[in-house]
Structure 1
Amino acid sequence: MGKFIDLTAADGFVFPAYVAEPAGKPKAAVVVLQEIFGVNSHIQQVTDRFAAQGYLAVAPATFHRVKPGVDMGYDEAGMKEGIALKAAVNGLPAPGVLTDIQAAIDHAAKASGGKVGIIGFCWGGFLAWRAACLLKGLSAAVPYYGGGMTAPAEIALQPKCPVLAHFSDRDH
């Protein structure tokens, strides 16, 4: 079972991340990027499962810059609020939330002493793609149904690490 800790981004912004540690020395680390529902119980469970397999896992709260403590269910109200929060985060001045993701990558590398991969779901999948292309310190990226990844501006980006992308016709 993991716990929330505070991380500090390069711009001094402090935000929470759910961190789950393995029983022994970590094999490596994984940064887990949330959907539009926050670091909710599902994302915490995903993070815990990585730790159970021997990986240090870190799930940064990527909505924290616009609304702290987001933890929503998968209902219509959660979907509506999540879409609004995603738009607010996407509207932040660059590099915005990528600064927080870089802090999570840096923490994962230091705490695990090894390689760091990143996985994301839905909006988090899109952010995992952007992290693979724009951030440092990643050894692999796995975006799941990252909406927006096939836009011309995104296709023009070149990942700095291997990427295994998963797509779907239906996100929900």
Structure 2
Amino acid sequence: MGQTIELTASDGATISAYRADPDGAPKGGVVVVQEIFGVNDHIRSVADGYAADGYLAVAPALFDRVRGGVELGYDAEGIDIGRKIAFEDLTSDQVMADISAAADCASEGGKVGIVGYCWGGSMCYVASARLADRIAAASGYYGGQIMPHLDERPQAPLLLHFGTEDHGIPLENVHAIAERWDHIGVHIYDGADHGFNCDARASFNPDAAALARQRTLDHFAEHLST
């Protein structure tokens, strides 16, 4: 369904992206923001899923500034490599520039939403604060790096999704986010662990994934409709 394209950011950097187009006229655009494992089969399948639901989906390869073609395994080595690139080698300004370029591409489909997972979930929060002129709605899954950005006020309508069994994101942090910004929607899924949306991981929770996805689709339908 999809194809690999090239994006150029405002600072001149070029990165690749996976683009999936819907059948017929799009309902809007969706930027799909990767986990720390790169734009892999799972992220491409997520983009394909949003295209099947009628959106022009673009998944930017946000690690391309450091290393092209990153697709890591869901193991200790993959986690170590991905965390280094995400948290040491890239700046949030660079990531926002690349997400902005992806949003420009996705805007061919209309108003743009953003959805992200793990590291990408944290970047959704930041994008909702910094890129509200390009992003009409955001939905972030189990973003563990939101707390360092908590003073950045979300501007675009934002949903956040967390699991009760995600030991990497204390529930006290989740509650702190909800209390800090009471205009966003924070959803907590009983029995769900980190990565509950990813069917390639042992922590996949189909019930939580289906509910979070439906909430995201409803969110996009509300805010991306023309």
1:95 aligned counterpart, secondary structure = helix
Q: Matched residue of 1:30: which SS? A: strand
When Rg is computed on C-alpha atoms for both structures, the one with the higher figure is 2
Check 1:68–1:83 CA distance in 2 against 1; reply closer, same or farther (3 A cut). same
1:15 paired with 2:15, answer yes
Aligned residue runs from structure 1 range 14-93, under 5 A? 14-90=14-90, 92=91
Distance across 1 between alignment mates of 2:82 and 2:74: 10
Report the 3-state secondary structure (helix = DSSP H, G, I; strand = E; otherwise coil) of the residue aligned with 2:158. Answer: coil
SS in 2 for 1:85: helix
CA distance in 2, matches of 1:41, 1:134: 29
Seq. identity, %: 48
Q: Tell me the TM-score normalised to structure 2 length.
A: 0.70
> In structure 1, what is the equivalent of residue 121 of structure 2?
125
CA deviations over 1:117-161 (Å, ceiling 9, x no partner): 00000000011110110113111100000112133xx22111121
Task: Look up the match of 1:107.
Answer: 105
Count of aligned pairs? 166
Structure 1 vs Structure 2 CA RMSD: 1.3
Q: Structure 2 unaligned runs (5+)? A: 167-192, 196-226
Provide structure 1 residue ranges, at least 5 long, that are not aligned to the other structure: none
Runs of 4+ residues deviating >3 angstroms: none
Length-normalised TM-score, structure 1: 0.92
Tell me the amino acid that sits aligned with residue 127 of structure 2: A
2:173 is aligned with 1:150: no
CA distance in 1, matches of 2:34, 2:141: 11
Q: Distance in 1 between matches of 2:114 and 2:18?
A: 14
- Give the Å deviation of 1:89: 3.5
Q: 1:140 aligns with which of 137, 142, 149?
A: 137
* Inter-partner Cα distance in structure 2 for 1:35 and 1:95: 18
Whichever structure has more helix as a proportion of its residues is: 2
Secondary structure (helix, strand or coil) at the match of 1:103 reads helix
How far is 1:87 from its partner?
2.2
Give the secondary-structure state (helix, strand or coil) at the position aligned to 1:43.
helix
For residues 72-103 of structure 1, the C-alpha deviation after alignment (integer angstroms, 9 at most, x for no partner) is 1212221121111112334x4x6212111110
